Structure 1
Amino acid sequence: MATTDIRPPPARRAPMTPLRKTALAAGICYLLSFVSVPTLGLYAPIRDPNFVVGPGPDTGVIWGVVLEMIVALAGIGTAVALYPVVKRQNHAMALGLVGARVLEAATIFSGVVIVMTFVTVRQAGAGADALVTGQALAGLHTWTFLLGQGFIPAVNAVLLGTLLYRSRLVPRILPVLGLIAAPLLATSAIATLFGFWDQVSTQSGLLTIPIGVWEFSLGVYLIVKGFRPARITADIPATRLPPAPRVPTLSGQPG
C-alpha cells in the first residue's frame, strides 16, 4: 500500500507590527546620519580662507553638501519616527526632541547655504578681492557648525536618553551612554568656543566619539531588536469597558 507523504505547510512569517516598523524606521534614520562622516575630509579645503581664490575642483565640497542634506533630513526622521512612542512617557519632552531635531536640521541647512555661497564666489573668479569674503564665510560656517552640531545634539541626547531610560523601551545601558555623551560633547563645543582647542583636534575628536557610539548603537539596536513590547503595552492605560446590560429573567425581574 502506497503511503502519502504529508508535509505540514511552510510556516508563514509573522507580519511586522506598526511598532516594529517604527523602530526600524528610526534605526535606519539614525544610521543614515553617519553618511556625514566623510564630510570631515570633504570640507577640509573650505577651512582655509584662501580656498575662495585658490585653484582646483569643487566636486568634493559639493558632495559634502549632499551628504549634509541627507543628515539633516535623517535627523528630523528620527524624531518624527520616535515621537508616537516616547510621548507616552513625557509629552513635553517628546515635543522638545522634535523641536531640537528640527532646529539642528535648520542649522545644518544654514551651513549648506554658506558652503554653496563659498563655492559660488570661488567659481565667479573674483580674485584677491574675494579673500575677505572667503574669510567671513569660513568663520561663519565654523560657528554655525559648532553651535548647530555641537550644542544641539547634546540637547537631543539628554531628551531622548531621559525618555528611553524612564520607559525602558531599550536596554538602559544605551540611554545611559547617551546621557554620558551629552555633557562631553557640550564640553568640547564650549572649549572650542573659548579657544582652548580647535574644532578639528584630538581633544575634540575624543569628546565627540561617545555621542557617535550612542547614536550608532541605538540605531543598530532599533533595527535588529526594536522596542521591548512589554514596556510598550505597560505604558498604555487599561481601557475600562462599560458594564454589561442586565437581562430580564422569566420572572420579569432583572437577572
Structure 2
Amino acid sequence: MQTEQSVARRGQFNQREYRVTARIIGVLYLAGMAIGIPGNIVIQSVLTAPGGLAAIAAGSMLLAAGVVCWLATVAGDAAHGVLMFPVLKRHSERAAVGYLAARIIDATFIAVMALLIMIQIPIGAAYVAAGTADTSYLQALSMVLTDANLYAYDFAMTTLGVSGLILCTALLRTHLIPRPLAVWGLAGYAVILLGSVLQLFGLNLISIHSLPGGLWEVFIGVWLIVKGFEPPEPTLATSSHEPSRLATTTI
C-alpha cells in the first residue's frame, strides 16, 4: 500500500516537474525573441550606419548594448539544452545528448559572433584617433571582422537547424506536444538548416529562411506556457508499478 502511494506521489511529482520545465522553456523561447530581435536591430543600425568606423565609434555604447542582448540569448540557448535533457532522456538518451551538444555549439558560435562585433569598437576608436593618417588597414580589418561575424552567425543558424531537427523528431516520437506542432517544427528547422547552408555558400536569403522556425518558436513558447508537455507515456508508469505488485505478491 505504501509502495503504491509512493509511486502515485512520484507520478504526480513528475507531472508537476514536466509542467514547470515546460513553462520555463516556453518563457525562454519568448524571451529569446523579445531580447534577440531588438538587439540585432540595434547592432545592425550601428554597423550599417553611414560613416562606417566613425559611426561605430560614435555609437559604441549602443552597439555594446545590442551585443549584451545577444549574449543573453546565448545563455537561453544553452539553458534549452540543459532543461530538455532530463525530459528527452526518459525516452532517448541519444536525443538528449545530441540536443544538448547542438545547443552548446549554437551558443558558442553566437558568443564568437558577439566578440567579433565588440572588437569593432576599439577599431572605430582607433580610426577616429588616427585623424588624417592612413586608416585603410583599419577599414580592411573592419570588413574582415564583418565577414567573419556573418560566417559565425550562419554557422550558429546551421547548428540551430540541426538542434531543432533533433528536438522536433524526439517530440514527434514521444508525443510530448501534438503531432501537427512537431511536424511544423521539423519543417521550420529543415528550412533554417538548408537556408543557412546556402548562405555559407554565398546565397543571401536576408534571413527569410528563419521565418517558419521563428514563428514556430513563438507559438510553441506560448503553447508550453499555457498547455505544457503531454504527460509521460503510460508504459513508464506501468513499469514503475511492477515492482510494488511483485512485492505485494511475495508478502
Q: Which of the five TM-score ranges fits, normalised by the shorter chain?
A: 0.7 to 0.9
Q: How many Å separate the matches in 2 of 1:210 and 1:234?
A: 34
Change (3 A) 1:232 1:216: farther
Listed one character per residue, the Cα deviations across residues 122-162 of structure 1 (whole Å, up to 9, x for unaligned) are 123354141111111111111101111x2011111110001
Find the partner of 1:162 among 169, 175, 178.
169
Paired residue type of 1:74: G
Indicate if the aligned counterparts of 1:174 and 1:217 stay in contact, CA closer than 8 A.
Answer: no
Helix, strand or coil: the match of 1:38?
A: helix
TM-score (structure 1 length as normaliser): 0.80
Number of corresponding residues: 227
Shift of residue 98, structure 1, vs aligned partner: 0.5
Q: 2:191 aligns with which of 158, 178, 184?
A: 184
1: CA distance between counterparts of 2:222 and 2:114?
28
CA contact (8 A) 1:165 1:176 kept: yes
Q: Is the 8 A contact 2:70 2:114 kept in 1?
A: yes
Aligned to 2:218: 216
Tell me if the contact between 1:53 and 1:126 (Cα under 8 Å) persists in the aligned partners: no
Q: CA deviation at 1:17?
A: 1.9
TM-score (norm 2): 0.81
Q: Which residue in the other structure is 1:82 paired with?
A: 84
- Aligned partners of 2:182 and 2:250: how far apart in 1? 51
Aligned to 2:36: 36
Q: Which of 116, 138, 141 is equivalent to 1:133?
A: 141
CA contact (8 A) 2:154 2:197 kept: no
| Structure 1 partner of 2:63 | 61
AA at the equivalent of 1:67: C
Once the 2 structures are TM-superposed, how far is the Cα of residue 244 of structure 1 from its aligned partner?
Answer: 4.1
Letter paired with 1:98: L
Q: CA deviation at 1:173?
A: 1.4
AA paired with 2:143? Q
Name the counterpart of 1:91: 93
Q: Percent identity, please.
A: 24
Unmatched 5+ stretches in structure 1: 1-13, 248-255
Deviations for 1:161-182, whole angstroms, at most 9, x for unmatched residues?
0111011011111111111012
Deviation at 1:52, TM superposition (A): 2.5
Which runs of 5 or more residues in structure 2 are unaligned? 1-11
Higher alpha-carbon Rg: 1
How far residue 30 of structure 1 moved from its aligned partner, in angstroms, is: 1.4
